[in-house]
Structure 1
Amino acid sequence: MNKHLAEPSRERSHVEAALDANAFRHIAGHWVTGVAVVTTIDQAGNPLGLTMNGLTSLSLSPPQFLICLDNKSETLAALRDSRVFCINFLHRDQRDLSTLFATKNSNKFLGVEWTKGVTGAPILGGGLGHMELRLGQLLSGGDHQIAIGEVVAADVRAGEPLAYFNGKYRSVAE
């Protein structure tokens, strides 16, 4: 039996095994994802943001995306108040930006090129594109919140995305 799997209970009606957090992270890491920085503003208008790959399109009509934020995230707290966020799709040359926004640094925007979008959320420079969203719903998802937003503005440009697979940044080959 895999060392990360708990022994299945005899009382369960179907085959099921619980993964520990490390095993789950390892297995989930085998799903290739794009890398984005999600940004918002706090009540004082200060920018906040974090690197994430827990996001996906949800609906075409209305146009919606969802993101998943840790319950303890400062960005989540600010998003709850501002009700707006921006998904910044990173270019393959933006690894440093991804690494910066993955930290707990309180001055992540210092020296970073950005502009205020129509929602007030920061749009980072140099990315493949962005979507500005108004928060519609927050749903509980274990140790995360699932934020569903409706797209109110967006833009895209050509280039290669920053991808993440098996704990490392990767290139996307055609």
Structure 2
Amino acid sequence: MNDMPAKIDPGTFWRTLGARAIGMTIVTTKGEDGPAGFLGLSAAHVTADPATMLVSIDKKTSALAGVLSSQCFAVNFLDADAGHVSDAFGGKSGLSGADRFVEGEWTALETGAPVYGQALGAFDCVVEDVIERGNISIVIGKVVAASSRADGEPLLFFRGKVMKGFAAA
């Protein structure tokens, strides 16, 4: 009974995790040098009462400093037409920092963290707790505002590729 299971290598971990389709999510904040954000594929809900979200942020991610200093972040769920936003925050467009926030596409809710205007949904959060684990910070936030659209299809990430929408079962 004391036999520990074998350690799973990172390649196996990511390949297995990639078998789960997830919505493309951009996590944004207001930093000292302007808006900041990153592709947040590990954003998740914690509980609905009280409404709480969490995001895992690699310590190398420049937006982490903004989240910690402003004590706020927004979780933006991208629609199928937001491939350019996904590319910008995923490092495929050559843009970085505040240059990824195209004027006219962004707004704000309660905290001032940037919210993508065409997001399928967005949660605006204030930081409640930060848990350090390995090379990431798990940031837990209380939802203070939310918005959602009744139309549109999601931009998905599945097996390492971005996909538009989904086929209903």
**What TM-score do the two structures reach when normalised by structure 2?**
0.89
Match of 1:161 in 2: 154
Q: Distance in 2 between matches of 1:119 and 1:69?
A: 19
Match of 1:134 in 2: 126
Identity rate, percent: 32
Aligned residues: 162
Match of 2:12 in 1: 23
Matched, 1:68 2:68: no
Q: Which moved more, 1:120-129 or 1:107-116?
A: 107-116
1:126-152 CA distance string (max 9 Å, x none): 110111000000111221111100110
Match of 1:85 in 2: 73
1:6-30 CA distance string (max 9 Å, x none): xxxxxx8235111222222122111
2:21 to 15, 20, 32: 32
The residue identity in structure 2 corresponding to 1:120 is: G
Question: Any idea what SS the aligned residue of 2:7 has?
Answer: coil
Which consecutive residues of structure 2, in runs of 5 or more, have no partner in the other structure?
Answer: none
CA shift at 1:82, angstroms?
0.3
Question: Any idea what SS the aligned residue of 1:173 has?
Answer: coil
- Where do 1:93-112 residues align within 5 Å? 93-103=81-91, 105-106=96-97, 107-111=99-103
Question: Any idea what SS the aligned residue of 1:87 has?
Answer: strand
Runs ≥4 in structure 1, deviation > 4 angstroms? none
CA shift at 1:112, angstroms?
6.0
Q: Which moved more, 1:139-148 or 1:149-158?
A: 139-148
Larger Rg: 1
Q: Distance in 1 between matches of 2:102 and 2:147?
A: 24
Question: Any idea what SS the aligned residue of 1:123 has?
Answer: strand
Which consecutive residues of structure 1, in runs of 5 or more, have no partner in the other structure?
Answer: 1-11
Q: Which moved more, 1:159-168 or 1:111-120?
A: 111-120
Q: Which moved more, 1:97-106 or 1:77-86?
A: 97-106
